[in-house]
Amino acid sequence: MKKTNLLLWVVCISFFTLRAQPLTLDSIIFIIEKNNPEIKKFTYKINGLDANVKGAGNWDAPLVGAGLWMVPYALTGNGSYMLSIQQMIPNPQKIKARQNYLSGIGSVQTENKNYLKNQLIAEAKSLYYEWMVLKKKQIIIGENEEIISLIIKEVELKYAYEQGKLNNVYKAKANLYQLKNAQLNLQNDIRQKAISLNALMYRNKDFVFDIDTLYVIKNYTENMLDNSILLTVRSDIKAIDKSIQLIKLNQNVQIKKKKPDFGIRYDNMFAIGNQMNQFNVMGMFTIPIVPWANREYKANIIAGNFEIQAFEEEKKAIANEAAKKIQSVIAQLKNKKLQLVLYEKNILPALQNNYKLTLLAYKQNTEDLFIVLDALQTFKMGQLEYLNQLQDLLILQTDYEKELEIL
C-alpha cells in the first residue's frame, strides 16, 4: 500500500511538473499546425478533391432496352422480341482534360491552406510576444514592490522614533497597492493571451501553461523588395496563379468539347413464329461543332479570358499593397531600434541614477520621501515604456514576416 501511494505521489509530481513546463514558440506553432480545425478543414478538402480526380475517367452507364420489334397490327405470328444495349464512349482527350482540371483544384486549396496557416502563425507569434512582455513587466513591478516594501518599513521605523512623517507612510503604501493592482491587471492580460493561444492550438481554454521569454531581434531594416519578389513568396498570390492555371485547364476542357464522343449499339431480335432471328450492330459519334451545340463552350472560353485578366489585376493590387506595407514596416522597425538603443544607453541609466541619488539624499535626511517615490515611479515607467517599445518592435517584425511568409 505504501509503495502504491508513493508511486501515485511521484506520478502526480511528474504531472504537475509537465504542466508547468514552458512552451517554446516553435512548440506552439507545431501544435497549431497539427490541431487547428481551420487548417485541418483545408486538409480534408484537399484530400476530397484529390479523390475526385479518380472519377474523372467515368463513362456513362450503358443503356439497355427490351420490347417488341416490327410486330404488325393485323397479322399474328410475325415480328420479333428485341433486346438492345447501347454504350457511349467518351473521347480520351476529354477525360484527360477533365483529370487535369480536377487535379488543379486541389493546388488552389493548398495555397489557401498555406495562406491561412501563415495568418494563424502570425497571430500566435503576436500573442506570444505580448505575453512575454507582460511577464517581463511583472518582474519589474515585483522588484518595485520589494523596494517600496523596504521603504515602508524604514519610514515606519523613522516615524516610530519621530524622525518621519505619517503622510510618507500612507504615500508609500498607496504606491504599493497601486503596484499590486497593476500586477492583477497584468495577470488578467496574461490569462487572456493564454485563452487565445489555447484556442489557436484547439485545446481546453482553461489549460494552464507557461511560455519562455526568449526572443530574437532580426535585421530586416536593409531589405528592399520589389513586387516581383512578392509574386513568388506569398500564398495568396500563388493561389491566384493556381486559379489562373485552373481557368486555363477549364478552357482546355471546353476546347476538348469540340471532340466527338463515340458509341456502339447492339440489337438482337428473337423472331416470333417461323422467321429467322436477326441482329443489328451500329457505331455512333456526336457532332459537337454544330452551331446549336457549341455556344456554351465558346462562351465559357471567352469568359475565362476575362477572369484571367481580373486575376492578373488582383495580383498586382495585392503585391502593390504588400510592398507598401513592407516598406512602411521597415521604416518603423528602423525607428523602433533607434528608440530602444536610446532607452538602453541614455534614458534608463539616467532615470536609475536619478532614483539612486534621491534615495541616498533621503537616507541622509536631505530629501523628502515624495521625491524618492516620484523618482522610483519615473524609473519604473521608463522600464515599462522600454518594454512597450520592445513589444512594438517584435510585433512589427512579425508583421514583416507575415507579409513575406517567412514565419
pLDDT for position 249: 93
CB–CB of 89/59 below 8 Å? yes
Single-letter residue type at 121: I
Mean pLDDT along residues 46-74: 87
The whole-angstrom separation of Cα 284 and Cα 265 is 8
pLDDT for position 21: 72
- Least-confidence region, from 186-195, 280-289, 345-354: 280-289
Q: pLDDT (tens digit, 9 = 90+) per residue, 216-274?
A: 888 876 555 666 777 788 999 999 999 999 999 999 988 888 889 899 999 999 988 77
Residue 165 has pLDDT above 80, yes or no: no
Q: pLDDT-based confidence at 17, cuts 50/70/90?
A: very low
Task: Say how many C-beta atoms besides its own lie within 10 A of residue 91's C-beta.
Answer: 18
Average pLDDT, the chain: 87
The whole-angstrom separation of Cα 248 and Cα 97 is 11
DSSP letter for each residue of 214-255: -------TT----HHHHHHH-HHHHHHHHHHHHHHHHHHHHH
Element (H, E) at 9: helix 2-20
Would you identify the CATH topology of the domain 25-404?
Outer membrane efflux proteins (OEP) (1.20.1600)
Q: pLDDT (tens digit, 9 = 90+) per residue, 80-109?
A: 899 999 999 999 998 899 999 998 999 999
CB–CB of 48/110 below 8 Å? no
Q: pLDDT-based confidence at 161, cuts 50/70/90?
A: low
- State residue 342 phi and psi, 5-degree precision: -65, -40
Residue 299 has pLDDT above 80, yes or no: yes
The C-alpha torsion from 352 through 353 and 356 to 361, rounded to 10°, is: -140
Residue 118 has pLDDT above 80, yes or no: yes
Instruction: Quote the cell numbers at residue 282.
Output: 451500329
Q: If we measure between CA atoms, which residue out of 255, 247, 234 comes closest to residue 400?
A: 234
Q: pLDDT-based confidence at 160, cuts 50/70/90?
A: low
> Among 39-43, 155-159, 288-292, which range has the highest average pLDDT?
39-43
Q: Give Dmax over CA atoms of the chain in angstroms.
A: 140
Mean pLDDT along residues 133-145: 95
Q: What pTM does this model have?
A: 0.83
CB–CB of 261/286 below 8 Å? yes
CB–CB of 221/330 below 8 Å? yes
Task: Say how many C-beta atoms besides its own lie within 10 A of residue 98's C-beta.
Answer: 21
Give the residue extent of every domain in the chain.
Answer: 25-404
Task: Say how many C-beta atoms besides its own lie within 10 A of residue 358's C-beta.
Answer: 23
pLDDT for position 289: 81
Q: pLDDT-based confidence at 50, cuts 50/70/90?
A: confident
